Structure 1
Amino acid sequence: MSKNLLEQLREMTVVVADTGDIQAIEKFTPQDATTNPSLITAAAQMPEYEEIVDQTLLQAKTDAGASASPGDIVSLAFDRLAVSFGLKILQIIPGRVSTEVDARLSYDTEATIAKARELIAQYETAGVNRDRILIKIASTWEGIRAAEVLEKEGIHCNLTLLFGIHQAIACAEAKVTLISPFVGRILDWYKKDTGRDSYPAAEDPGVLSVTKIYNYYKKFGYKTEVMGASFRNIGEITELAGCDLLTISPKLLGELQATIGELPRKLDATKAAAMSIEKMPIDKVIFDKMHAEDRMANDKLDEGIKGFTKALETLEQLLAEKLAKLEADSKVTA
């Protein structure tokens, strides 16, 4: 019997689940899993994960002390919730989970470093080795500099919201563990900018961007892994077969699993190493210039940070409402 596309993809690419939904992770048994503020916020509102949220809030209340304000308790629980989901996910998968630094720190190198260390400390206190954690940081110049420091401390980083080759080169030069170029969000921008309804998968601007980054990395022997992310359809995924990793939503994992057909390798490190590619220097001046000239990368990085920030604010409000309910319930039963 012919293999489905997901089975074939796993033979050449590490498949990662792009979700905070633990049940979906159990269903598709990926090697790794990655979350972001939007996914954690969505999962926190699902009835099946109410216990995780409530336990995190109650533990935060205990640890904050009797004199702590509701705001202090919510702040502490907010910092811990992504780790709570991460710990549950790590019980299911054999590999790594990505946990994101607060997007509101994206332009603050020192604050990003401090928050990353706090997240790793929480995992290690829970008995998880730091090698199983990827700290997600936005691919701003400041975020990349933070990742460079963290990597030297053995804290592995996943640089997210990556849309341009300048971001990718800066990450590789900083020796970060992994980057997550956003395929679907690049497609979204080009469709809006050009007025086109669609692109053939092989001409998809997001696919072309990740292919360019992958070939550049393999040509010059960078160790940083490329993980395509943010897919809109399975055509984008099949065009990137052979990429180091691909992080895929449960919906698209299901489509791949349900589709029978041949899946040829599209990205190949050996072929990339033989390509004629010019090496580009990178420093802050060059990075800023390239970023300013790349309208798409400029727009989508800013939009992504704002979107994750909004999700975090929604999560804070959700936690505040849940804390108030838990406290009201405790008074009733007292």
Structure 2
Amino acid sequence: MSSATLLADIRSRLVVDVDSMDPDVAARHTNIAAKFCDMTSNQAIVYGEATRPERAELFKKACDHIRSTNAELDIDTQVSNAIDLLTVLLAKEVYPYLTGRVHAQASPSTAYDTEATINHARKLISVFEANGIPKTRVCIKIPATPESVALAAHQAGCLYIAPYFNELRVHFVPGVWKEYTDTAKEHPASPVIASIVKLYKEIDTKTLVMPASIVTAKEVVALVTLGPDHLTLSGAVLNQLAAAKGSEVSLEAEASVGVAVEPEVKSADYLANGGAALKSAIAADAETSRKLEDALKIFGEQEDKTKDLIRAALMA
């Protein structure tokens, strides 16, 4: 028998994370029987929260703290420290509604610099710990792609791999998103996610599959049939699911999506020689390369906008 809402049905089948740094969103869809596991975030979400009037006091708190404690540092360092603190303070607002981890994404500006990415990840963790969130409750997101990265993530012992169901641009450019009659079978990302799920079952990895960039409740239903471990959902999608009756949609146990994982994918060492095999796999896939570069560009632009806001506040 179906649950009262479609959201309750989805929660009974897999783990639901909140793809928002708005505590009101988390509170709206949390109760004694249903809580979110993780909170995911990125530079676009941070910028969106930084511009909301409701977050003005928290934004000011981050800037004031850096201004008072980092006065001897140059303005660029102050700005970088402030955006990290802002990210942590925003996450801390949602933290009480979680049973798992808060996520923070490493800067897109360091995406092709391993040492800089590691240093930023460690810095973020230290800021979380300084603000009462232990590192055991933190997950750092590292931009990466495509199918081959699924094995690389497993080999590296990552907690999650979060393949984007829709490319990032659908959230910023009207007309890019497309609706499909049978989303599980027709959406171009479905076989990619299905192949990752299939691969992870075959190799019995501890790394979990958490699709992201989901636009509609219909896509959620399709993704459930592909068998991932988690889904991270925005406030808008959570609202759609909560408004729909659980009996309105039939959730099949597994979608019939034909996928095959090539033997060479499973046998390759994607971490060897500085990730040479992974770089080659990405470079050989023009569409994947385009989407990766586009996502990094968008996240970088959003990060720069937040830094501009912080810079103006610090220099006022």
Asked if TM exceeds 0.5, the reply is yes
TM range (shorter): 0.7 to 0.9
Once the two structures are TM-superposed, the CA of residue 308 in structure 1 deviates from its matched residue by: 0.7
Q: Trace 1:10-21 onto structure 2 (pairs within 5 A).
A: 10-21=11-22
Aligned to 2:294: 303
1:199 aligns with 2:199: no
Of structures 1 and 2, the one with the larger relative CO (CA 8 A, separation 6+) is 2
In structure 1, C-alpha distance between the alignment counterparts of 2:208 and 2:191, rounded to whole Å: 17
In structure 2, C-alpha distance between the alignment counterparts of 1:63 and 1:266, rounded to whole Å: 54
Greater mean deviation of Cα atoms: 17-26 or 295-304 = 17-26
In structure 2, C-alpha distance between the alignment counterparts of 1:187 and 1:322, rounded to whole Å: 29
1:218 aligns with 2:222: no
What amino acid maps onto 2:216 in structure 1?
N
Q: Trace 1:233-244 onto structure 2 (pairs within 5 A).
A: 233-241=216-224, 242-244=227-229
Whether the aligned pair in 2 keeps the contact of 1:103 and 1:308 (CA below 8 Å) is yes
Once the two structures are TM-superposed, the CA of residue 92 in structure 1 deviates from its matched residue by: 2.7
In structure 2, C-alpha distance between the alignment counterparts of 1:221 and 1:307, rounded to whole Å: 34
| 1:240 counterpart SS class | helix
Once the two structures are TM-superposed, the CA of residue 262 in structure 1 deviates from its matched residue by: 4.1
User: Aligned to 2:278, which of 276, 280, 287?
Assistant: 287
Aligned to 2:107: 102
**Residues 186 and 35 of structure 1, relative CA distance in 2, 3 Å threshold:** closer
In structure 1, C-alpha distance between the alignment counterparts of 2:3 and 2:117, rounded to whole Å: 47
Q: Percent identity?
A: 27
In structure 2, C-alpha distance between the alignment counterparts of 1:55 and 1:228, rounded to whole Å: 33
Aligned to 1:318: 309
Aligned to 2:33: none
**Residues 2 and 93 of structure 1, relative CA distance in 2, 3 Å threshold:** closer
Once the two structures are TM-superposed, the CA of residue 232 in structure 1 deviates from its matched residue by: 2.3
1:55 aligns with 2:61: yes
In structure 1, C-alpha distance between the alignment counterparts of 2:305 and 2:127, rounded to whole Å: 23
Aligned residues: 292
Please give the TM-score of this superposition, normalised by the length of structure 2: 0.84
Whether the aligned pair in 2 keeps the contact of 1:16 and 1:31 (CA below 8 Å) is yes
| 1:314 counterpart SS class | helix
1:168 aligns with 2:150: yes
| 2:133 counterpart SS class | coil
Whether the aligned pair in 2 keeps the contact of 1:207 and 1:236 (CA below 8 Å) is no
| 2:142 counterpart SS class | strand
What amino acid maps onto 1:8 in structure 2?
D
Q: Trace 1:56-75 onto structure 2 (pairs within 5 A).
A: 56-65=62-71, 67-75=72-80
Greater mean deviation of Cα atoms: 280-289 or 16-25 = 280-289
Whether the aligned pair in 1 keeps the contact of 2:216 and 2:240 (CA below 8 Å) is no
What amino acid maps onto 2:251 in structure 1?
P
What amino acid maps onto 1:301 in structure 2?
L
Once the two structures are TM-superposed, the CA of residue 73 in structure 1 deviates from its matched residue by: 2.9
User: Aligned to 1:182, which of 143, 161, 164?
Assistant: 164
5+ long unaligned stretches in structure 2: 31-35
What amino acid maps onto 1:304 in structure 2?
A
In structure 2, C-alpha distance between the alignment counterparts of 1:316 and 1:324, rounded to whole Å: 12
Alpha-carbon displacement from aligned partner over 1:58-107 (angstroms, at most 9, x marks no partner):
11111113x44544432321221111112222123222110111110111
In structure 2, C-alpha distance between the alignment counterparts of 1:196 and 1:33, rounded to whole Å: 24
5+ long unaligned stretches in structure 1: 140-161, 326-334
Whether the aligned pair in 1 keeps the contact of 2:43 and 2:105 (CA below 8 Å) is yes
**Residues 83 and 267 of structure 1, relative CA distance in 2, 3 Å threshold:** farther
Alpha-carbon displacement from aligned partner over 1:203-250 (angstroms, at most 9, x marks no partner):
111222111111111121111000010012222211121420001111
Aligned to 1:113: 118
In structure 2, C-alpha distance between the alignment counterparts of 1:59 and 1:124, rounded to whole Å: 16
Whether the aligned pair in 2 keeps the contact of 1:186 and 1:206 (CA below 8 Å) is no
1:40 aligns with 2:46: yes
**Residues 62 and 6 of structure 1, relative CA distance in 2, 3 Å threshold:** same
Whether the aligned pair in 2 keeps the contact of 1:17 and 1:34 (CA below 8 Å) is yes
**Residues 186 and 105 of structure 1, relative CA distance in 2, 3 Å threshold:** closer
Whether the aligned pair in 2 keeps the contact of 1:211 and 1:267 (CA below 8 Å) is no
**Residues 187 and 116 of structure 1, relative CA distance in 2, 3 Å threshold:** closer
What amino acid maps onto 1:208 in structure 2?
P
Higher strand fraction: Structure 1 or Structure 2? Answer: 1
Whether the aligned pair in 1 keeps the contact of 2:84 and 2:127 (CA below 8 Å) is no
